[in-house]
Each structure stands twice: as structure tokens, then as C-alpha cells.
Amino acid sequence: MLNQSLEKMNERFGKFLVPIILIVFFVLTLAILYPSIKPTANSYKEGQVAETNIRANKTIENSTATEQKRKLAAEAVSPEYTYQSDLATRQHDLLANLFTLILKVKTSADEAYQKNTQAAKDKSTVSKPTTEELISQLKKQFETVDTDDLDFYQDLTTNFLTTMFSLSTTEITKVEQVTLNLVDDQMKAQIKESDVTSVRQKAESALEASDVSTSQAEAVRYLLSKGIVANTFLNEKKTTELQNEAKASVQPVMIYQGEIIVREGSQIDSTAIEKLRILGLTNQSVNYYPLLSLVFTILLQIGMLAFFVHQMEEQSKRLKCYLFYASMMIVSLLIMKFFQLFQTNAAPHLSLFYPAAFAPLVLNFFMNRRSGLLAALFQVVFALFIFSNTAADVGLNVLVFLLISYLFSGIMGTIVRQQRISNQGFNALMWLVVFPLLMNVTLILFQEMSFTSGQTWIALVCGLAGSLLSLLLTVGLHQYIELLVTDDSVIVLNELSNPNHPMLKRLLEEAPGTYHHSMMVANLSANAVADIGGNSLLTRVACYYHDIGKLKHANFFVENLPAGAENPHNFLLPEDSRDIIFGHVIDGAKVLEAEKMPQMVIDICRQHHGTTLMRFFYVKAKERNDSVKESDYRYPGPKPQTKEAGIVSIADSCEAAVRAMDQPSNEKIKTFVSNLIKDRILDGQLDESGLTLNELRIIEKSLINGLCSTFHSRIKYPKMKSEAEQMKEEQEKREE
């Protein structure tokens, strides 16, 4: 049917047919996939409710989020502090030296006062040194301390010094003791700048438990504020280094292509707006890149298809490959689109039901393996476009699972042998079902999916169902696809093999001997073809019709002569007999072409005698005229072009010859068949058939077994003079 349709279209459109097929293929593919990558204008505002899932159109770094994470990482770094343990000793020494100086000044002043009092006649005229004088003397003592410590002493207030000089030596000693103990006790621990106040308060609380006067307590509090200082300081350099390391360890925040930015029905917040701004989706421009990518992919597929189809020699095969490939890919994409419509987040693996091996498998059977491989590859590429919108819903892992599963199943479809799937049995089951299932298990293990999860088993079941669907579709539709693509489908051949077919009924009625001969040749040929793995059904049907041309002059073929009739060729010239016998090949092919028989049947009709020599009539003609050429008595051919045609040519001659044998025996049959095959080889009749010597040995054995079990001698009939003379007269009139 497809061949006839292509012939009609080729007659109508001529050289424009291929471009028309490819343009239609391009348009249909684009129409199927366009909804999945339809460019839309993007205009998003904060507070807007998303009508559909908004997905990232590319993979890009979210610089704002990255900077925020780095800032948080830096803030999370604990500051690095340096503890100066010697500061406690320094503070102790400063305080101790202060008390030493105060006591020294006080003691010296008291001694001077006592000395002056004793020396004076009027003791009343000697006055005690004032506080100001004592403070002045103390400050002179400060000039003797180290320069590094001078600031500590100069910062002492006058009120404090006044209080201290108002105390007695014993009281000062008590203040010294309490102060040093409290300072030493608190300075043992690490004190940060922020902790100084609390530590001083703690020391003052401890002071309340001591037995000191109010003046003494006031002095101690003041000295605690001077003596208790921070001894643990922030190491800014080290802290900065740690913060920089923390920032550097933060991985960039990425927005991945296909990631959902805002889910359908959700409000667009400021965070989402920032992501959309980074992606360039906040403006109203339309993103045409997915569409351009799809167009380029389709053109690439067409280019690759045209590249290898152009290498085919026959124009009819080219047209068939273009049309059939395009049809299968369109059907494949429609099925894929159907499953995509039902894929949801709740059922992410539903698309594994898609029979990924079906299109490559059918193309492998009816076209060639390369077209199947091309389909297996590009249906995966197109799946990327179809499922890109749902990838964010079901997850990137599911998309990867789908694509690899589709690719593996498709390639398995091209590995299967190019013969009917129902005849391959276990091998087909392994390639199409078992191996894809094992690959799915591998993908599940790689993605660390748990076998206790229901989703894991759903994925396995869906993948198994998709593989089985590929197998069942191919088995169930094979004969119908075969009916569309080829002219020798099983349905057609079964119809042609029906004995009630008009041509076979006519052959039985008008040429019963030829009919019986054809049946015998069919059995012999079909068995031999089956033994070498050929198309036995097609061979059988071709044998039924290979001698259909004998209907035109049925009685001029010895098997159809009625009882008692003499061979009419006894009354004809050799060249007349030659033309009649040659005619059954030429006329038969014309009849079969008119009846639109399968091309293989027509070819076997033309080729079943090859270019063999009609030896009997050639010898007779040679006796009459020595200038007769051998080529004039050779069948027009061509030589058998297929193994099936070569076997039919051998079986036809063997059956006719054995039938004519007098008292055939198994040994005579074996010798004859062997010699005939050798003669055909030497005559070059099997050179173009593709038969190997090993296959010829198998064929020889099959024919011998068949002939030995079914032969019977041809019956010799009496002369049939009247019709022969009449035909001779008609031939002479035509020549005149």
C-alpha cells in the first residue's frame, strides 16, 4: 500500500515529494513539541500571584544570596582573643608600689613632724604636714617610677589620695591587703573588655564581706576600678583571617535551570523577585532560546536522516524511508506527549509507560538499523523538550531516569535481529524486557532509591510495563504495519496462498498439470528455504504463481497434455517452440504485474529459469541450421537475484526432470540433483543469488529428501496433432 501511494505521489509531485515530506515532518514535530517550550512574555511584580509554576530559564549564581550566606558565615565566626597572663602581675606590682610610696611619704612626713616637734621650744609653732603637702611629696615620688607606669599614677584622683592620707598607717596597710587580694583573685581569670564592669562589681561584692571602714571601702573601690582591667584582647588580624576563611568556604548559591522559583498559586515575594531579576525574568522580554534549540534539533534530525538516506541507490527505497521514518517519529512523539500529560508529582514515573523501543524496533524491521538508531537517539532528545516543564515538579533525578531509560530501551530495539519478533522468542524477551528492567534497577541503585519505598517499585513496574508494551505493540501490529509498508505481508501472502484465489482456480481448471507441478515445487522450495533461514511463506506463494504464464498456451506444456495426446512441439519448428516456452516467463510476469502481485513473486517468475539454455530445441535448431547462436535459445532472465529465486530455479528443474524419469530411484534422484546444481554453478546461474556452497549443500539434501518421498513419473501422452497443426498455420500467417 505504501509503495503504491508513493508511486502515485511521486507521479504527482516528482522531485518536490521529498521536500514536501520533510517540511510536513518538520511542521508536525514542531507543532507537537511547541506547547512544551512555548515562549512567553515575562512581567512579574512583588505581591503578584503566580498563575503557573515559574521556573528558572538557566543555571546562574544567586550573587545576592551568596553574599548573604557569606556575611552570616563571617558573623558566625567566634572572635579570636589573646590572653595576657602577665598583666595580673603588672597590676599587682603597680598597686603594691603605690602603697609603698604612700606609706613612704606618710612615714617620712610623720618622722619629720616628730623631729621638728622635739627640736622646737614651742611645740605649738610646729604644724603637721597638710594633705596637699603629702600629695605633693607623693607626686614627686611618682617621678622616680618607670615611664611605662607613669600614666597609672598620674591618673590617680586627688580625692583618692586625700582619702588615703587621711588614713592611718595601719588602715592603709589594711586597704593594701584587701585591695591586692581582691585584684589578684579576679585577675587570675581571663577578662574581656566587655566583662570588666561585671568583674569589678563581683570584687566590690566580695569587699562587702570584709571588715573595713567606709573610708577604707571607698579607697578599695577606687583601686579596684584601677587595678582590675581587661587581660584578654580581641585579635583582630586572626579574627579577620577566620572570617575570610569562613566566607571562602561558603559555596555559591546557584539557581538551576528548571528549578521552581514560585509555585502556581503562590505570591511572589521579595526573595523570588530578586531571583527573577538575576535570571532576567523581571523584564517583559520573550525568551526564544528553547524554541530556537528545538528548531535546530529538528533540522539536525532531518539533516542526518537525509545524509544516510541519500546513500540508498533506489529512489523508491529513499521515499519509503523518508515517509516511514517521519510517520513513526510523529506517532512516537504523540504517545510520549500523551504520557507527559498525566505525569504529576504524585506519579513522577508514569512516563516510563512510554514504549521507547517501539519506533526503533519497527524501523529496524521494516527499514534498516541506522534509521532505528536515529529514532532511538532523537526521541530521547525530544523527550528533554517534552518533559522539561515537568522536571521541576517531579525532580531532576526523575528526568535523568526517564531519558536514560528511553535511550537504553530504544537502542535495545535496534539490536534485535531483523526478523519477525514472534519468531525470536526468548532472545527478543531478553533484549526488549529483561535488559531494560536491569538497567532501571541500576539507575535506582545509583540514585540511592530505597527498595522499601513505594515510588521505587512504581518506577520498576512502569518501566517493565513500557518494555512489555513495546514488545506487545510490535507483535500485535507487525502484520498490519507490514501490510502498509511492504507488498508481501503475511496477510497478503496468506490471501494469495488460498486455493480459492481466482488465478489459482483458473490454473487448476485450465492447466491442472502446471497447478500440480507448482504445488510440488512450492513444497520443495519452501522446505529448502526454511532450512537456510529464508522467507519460506513468500517462496511458497511465489511458486504457486511462477508458471502462471503457461495459461496462455497450456496444452503446449507437456504436464497439461490430455491422455493420449502427442507433444504438439513435434509439429513446430524449434524457434516456434522456443518462443512459446519463453513466453510463459514473459507473459507470466505481465499477468502478475497487472494483478499487482508482490514484487518478489514477480521477480521469481522472471528469474526461475534464469538465463539457462533450452538445450533440446537448441540442438534441434542446430541440426537444421549450424549458424544458430546459443544465446538465442537462452531464457531472457535475469539470473536469480535472491536466495529464494535461486532455490526455486533449482527445485523447478528438479521436480520436472524427476517426474519425467523412467522408474526413478533414490540413487538416480540424488545423482541428478547433485549434477543439476553443479551444472547451474558452472553455468553461472547462481552467481547473483547470494547462495553459499554450504547453503547449496543444505538445499541439495532438502530437495533430495523431498523428491525421494513425493516423486512420481510423468505420464507420456499420445500425439495431439490437430491443435499443433493449427498453431503452426497461424504462426506461418503471422510471419507472412
CA-CA-CA-CA torsion sign (155, 159, 162, 166): negative
Tell me whether residue 53 is in a domain: no
> Which three cell numbers mark 33?
513539541
Q: Using CA atoms, how far apart are residues 59 and 157, in angstroms rounded to an integer?
A: 68
Cell numbers placing 163: 582619702
Inside any domain, residue 24: yes
| Cα torsion angle, 322, 327, 332, 333, sign | positive
Q: Which of 234, 250, 268 is the last residue of a domain?
A: 234
> Residue holding cell 505504501?
2
- Final residue in a domain of this structure, among 435, 453, 485: 485
- Residues 633, 576, single domain; the answer is yes
Over residues 137-144, mean pLDDT: 82
Whether residue 69 lies inside any domain: the answer is no
Shared domain for 561 and 620, answered yes or no, is yes
Give DSSP secondary structure letters for 691-723: --HHHHHHHHHHHHHHHHHH--PPPP----HHH
220 in the same domain as 155: yes
What's the pTM?
0.62
Which of 460, 485, 510 represents a domain boundary (last residue)?
485
Predicted pLDDT at 117: 78
Task: Identify whether 266 is part of a domain.
Answer: no
Distance CA 232, CA 191 (A): 5
Mark whether 301 and 366 lie in a shared domain. yes
Name the 3-class secondary structure at 629: coil
Residues 463 and 514 in one domain: no
Q: Per residue in 552-590, pLDDT tens?
A: 888 888 787 776 677 787 778 888 888 888 888 999 999
Same domain (yes/no): 438, 510: no
pLDDT digits (tens, 9 = 90+) for 393-411: 555 677 788 889 999 999 9
Rg of the chain in Å (alpha carbons):
55
Q: What is the DSSP letter of 354?
A: S
pLDDT of residue 518: 92
Q: Is residue 590 part of a domain?
A: yes
Whether the CB-CB separation of 359 and 328 falls below 8 Å is answered with yes
Has residue 27 been placed in a domain? yes
Domain that holds residue 462: 2-35+288-485
Q: How many domains does the chain have?
A: 3
Q: Does residue 398 sit in the same domain as residue 477? A: yes
Residue 454 confidence class, pLDDT cut points 50, 70, 90: confident
Q: What percent of the chain has pLDDT over 70?
A: 91
- Pair (377, 480) in one structural domain: yes
pLDDT at 659 (0 to 100):
84
The reply to whether 44 falls in a domain is no
Q: Where would I find the beta strands (DSSP E) of 496-554? A: none
Give the HSE-up count for residue 416: Cα atoms under 13 Å, Cβ half-sphere: 36
Q: Is the pLDDT of residue 342 over 60?
A: yes
- Using alpha carbons only, give the angle 669, 675, 679 rounded to the nearest 5 degrees: 145
Cell of 229: 582591667
3-state class (DSSP) for residue 254: strand
Instruction: Note whether residue 72 is domain-resident.
Output: no
CATH number at residue 634: 1.10.3210
* Confidence check: pLDDT of 713 > 50: no
582 and 536: one domain?
Answer: yes
d(CA 141, CA 102): 9
Q: What angle do CA 216, 218, 222 make, to 5 degrees?
A: 115
